[in-house]
Structure 1
Amino acid sequence: MNCLYCQEVIEQHVTWSTLFQANRTRLCEPCADQIEKISSAICQRCGRAMKENSICQDCEQWDKTADFQHVLTYNRSLYCYNEFMQEVITKWKYRGDYQLREIFQHDIDISLPTFFPIKDITIVPIPLTEERLYERAFNQSEAIAEMIAKKWNRPIETILKRKAQFSEKQSKKSRKERLNTTNPFLLTKSLEKEVLLVDDIYTTGMTIHHAAKQLKAAGCPKVYSFTLIR
């Protein structure tokens, strides 16, 4: 078996235990060691790593912003955005190495039930514009949503659409530019159910909060969000 990221052969003494481990991670040990998982101490609202469980300053500001108070119940994420994870996401999202999503499957499977009430939730992926979807050939948020839906047999509703004029990459914008923008999303139908928004990265939280605002306004009683990376 080869490492999904570096393609080196995963060498190990084969036992039932090590065989299960290799199939589970799909990464060689040097690559797996570079992934930094978020520990148990987090911001209770956005899920960022903290020294102790509390509410971070960013989330305190969200609570003081009239347009976005109470639109998002909470976000949870799996990984910190370190240099290695940045390289993984670049290779997966921008260079089209679709198979790399398998790296995340095991952690998603074991973590999601502890994060959210999966049993009663509907999955809504964050959309791309048609232009961005054409460039990448797939929507990374839908790829993550499909992994969740497959494991937990939950429906996916692609009811959010991104307005065509909001096609500039978020990674090219400053924090101030991201925070000072109009809502880029349209809702194609109402959904009066609890929702799990899905995206790859939570940076400022603006994308998630804009999407959550639209869903709450259309009747969703609670909106949670899951991102791979915080």
Structure 2
Amino acid sequence: MDNCLYCHQPLRHSSSWHHFFSPNHRVQLCHMCKEKLLKISGELCQKCGRPLSALSPQYYQSGLCSDCQKWEQDAVYKGTLGQNRSLYLYNSFCKDVMAQFKFRGDYALLHLFQSDWVTLYKQVYSPAYLLVPIPLSDERLYERGFNQSLALAELLSSNIYEGLTRIHHEKQSKKSRGERLEMKSVFNVRDGSRLKSKDVVLIDDIYTTGMTLHAAAIVLKQAGANSVQSFTLARS
């Protein structure tokens, strides 16, 4: 019998025709854990994908939340990053799962997200888009052993560009919102030939302030990308 990949309790499979004819399509989460992993739905901010139902009316206008209105009023960042879509709300359960996935190296937890992650991507983005995972610095990659954004991108397509590089920087999770917004660009492009006139989707684990994705989008556009959008696993 299979166990839930998160809480390790035994899973009960329903005896359906789909189960018999799709042996590789296996449930990875028990019912209780699955209920805690909340998909983003309803009316969303047209830019960052934040659920507008969680905001008071004064914090959004013309389909944009107040944060995205500020991004579009900024002379540096206006128009650099198009639509972002995120799969899950970054609630306490999602935070715990992702911490176990990223920081404790439980790579198997990637399969918890796979089906929902691939399904949403196909609904929103074209197969022709070039995927660009947000990179880790060499130091951070050595600590973790893998780049979670690259792992997420590989679930979606083989059309991946890994030429975006990152200078070592303090962990984003340790920064305040203000410090993140003041962060200078820490990204470089190693070889921009594959980016010329391409429509790009940045892949990352969490959309928090949007600073990381906007900073990466600027560098990619300067290197020749036609447009830059983003797709993240969770939205805080």
Q: Could you say which residue in structure 1 is the equivalent of 2:224?
A: 219
Within 1, Cα distance between the matches of 2:66 and 2:24? 39
Secondary structure, aligned partner of 1:208: helix
Change (3 A) 1:21 1:89: farther
Within 2, Cα distance between the matches of 1:72 and 1:136? 28
Instruction: Within 5 Å, give how 1:1-230 maps onto structure 2.
Output: 1-17=2-18, 23-51=25-53, 54-118=63-127, 120-149=128-157, 154-164=158-168, 166=169, 168-190=170-192, 191-192=195-196, 193-230=198-235
Q: TM-score, normalised by structure 2?
A: 0.90
Within 1, Cα distance between the matches of 2:66 and 2:202? 22
Q: Is the deviation greater in 21-30 or in 75-84?
A: 21-30
Q: CA deviation at 1:25?
A: 3.8
Q: CA deviation at 1:50?
A: 1.4
Q: CA deviation at 1:225?
A: 0.5
Q: CA deviation at 1:41?
A: 1.3
Q: CA deviation at 1:183?
A: 0.3
Q: CA deviation at 1:23?
A: 3.5
Does the 8 Å CA contact 2:48/2:84 hold for their aligned counterparts?
Answer: yes
Q: CA deviation at 1:194?
A: 0.8
Within 2, Cα distance between the matches of 1:202 and 1:21? 34
Secondary structure, aligned partner of 1:66: coil
Secondary structure, aligned partner of 1:113: helix
Cα RMSD of the aligned pairs, angstroms, is: 1.8
Does the 8 Å CA contact 1:25/1:106 hold for their aligned counterparts?
Answer: no
* Equivalent residue pairs, number: 223
Q: Is the deviation greater in 192-201 or in 47-56?
A: 47-56
Q: CA deviation at 1:16?
A: 2.6
For residue 198 of structure 1, what is the amino acid of its counterpart? I
Within 1, Cα distance between the matches of 2:13 and 2:116? 22
Identity level (%): 45
Q: TM-score, normalised by structure 1?
A: 0.92
Within 1, Cα distance between the matches of 2:211 and 2:26? 33
For residue 109 of structure 2, what is the amino acid of its counterpart? L
Q: CA deviation at 1:18?
A: 5.5
Does the 8 Å CA contact 1:92/1:101 hold for their aligned counterparts?
Answer: yes
For residue 208 of structure 1, what is the amino acid of its counterpart? L
For residue 147 of structure 2, what is the amino acid of its counterpart? N
Give ranges in structure 1 of 5+ residues lacking alignment: none
